[in-house]
Amino acid sequence: MKKVNVASLLRMKTDKQKITALTAYDASFAQLFDDLGIDVLLIGDSLGMVLHGANDTLAVTIDDIAYHTKSVRTGAKRSFVIADMPFMSYASPKQAYNNAAKLMRAGASMVKVEGGEWLLETISGLVERSVPVCGHLGLTPQSVHVLGGFKVQGREQSQADAMLTAALALEEAGVQLLVLECVPSSLAKLISDALSIPVIGIGAGCDTDGQILVMHDMLGISANYMPKFSKNYLAETGDIQASVKQYIDEVQTKKFPGPEHSFD
């Protein structure tokens, strides 16, 4: 299979072929997911919760992400590799440039940042400096204390309008991929249809251009809890490889996420 890149992800959106994504943190799982055909691997700051056992992602450092990115890149030959920019690692454009360089040197093909219009200058600067960027709107875990917890975002019309405006602005600034987390399905569809770039959902319904799950949630082994938007595929299949294959099939056929994994 050909190596996945920004252009092929865009073609998948155009062709209405669902993009499959999972988090990964080491070479072994990265190779397994890669071999089975997962399109995108994310080294998420979720590692703070699923690997370190923390209650949020805030203690994760740029060095943590770089370490795991290098490991994932070793195992991933085909999949597109995205690395999270962790909490306060991109508070200013200059800081973002330096930290993004660390992640790209570690093997990332793209970096991901959380937030809306306050990031436009930073995103434009990164893209100008040859760093591809993925945006992240909706529930942004790095803002958990501002949001008052892990809550669905965009249910109020004013919030929905602001999120759509932010998504369009991020695309204009140069992001080539967008993650929407924990937003109503109807809003996620509206944003996905409005953007020319691929939109990957997590807790955002089945009408985004693709889906991503935290691998520990998908395998039912998270140390904290199982989110409503996830599904324990290992419990259904009893085998890791079969779990990933079923996840891929259900995303591509729009069986996952179902209404029980989505928000109104």
Annotated binding site for Mg(2+): 45, 84, 114
Distance from C-alpha of 116 to C-alpha of 172, rounded to nearest angstrom: 12
Nearest-Å Rg of the Cα atoms of the chain is 17
Distance from C-alpha of 24 to C-alpha of 46, rounded to nearest angstrom: 10
| H/E element, 211 | strand 210-213
Per-residue exposure over 138-177, b if at least 16 CB sit within 10 Å of its own CB, e if not: bbbbbebeeeeeeebbbeeeebbebbbebbebbbebbbbb
Provide the token pair at 178: 């967008």
Active-site choice (128, 156, 181, 250): 181
Q: Is position 172 annotated as part of the catalytic site?
A: no
Query: Among candidates 62, 161, 201, 42, which has minimal Cα distance to 112?
Result: 42
- Residues making up the annotated binding site for 3-methyl-2-oxobutanoate are 45-46, 84, 112
- Residues making up the annotated binding site are 45-46, 84, 112, 114
- Catalytically annotated residues: 181
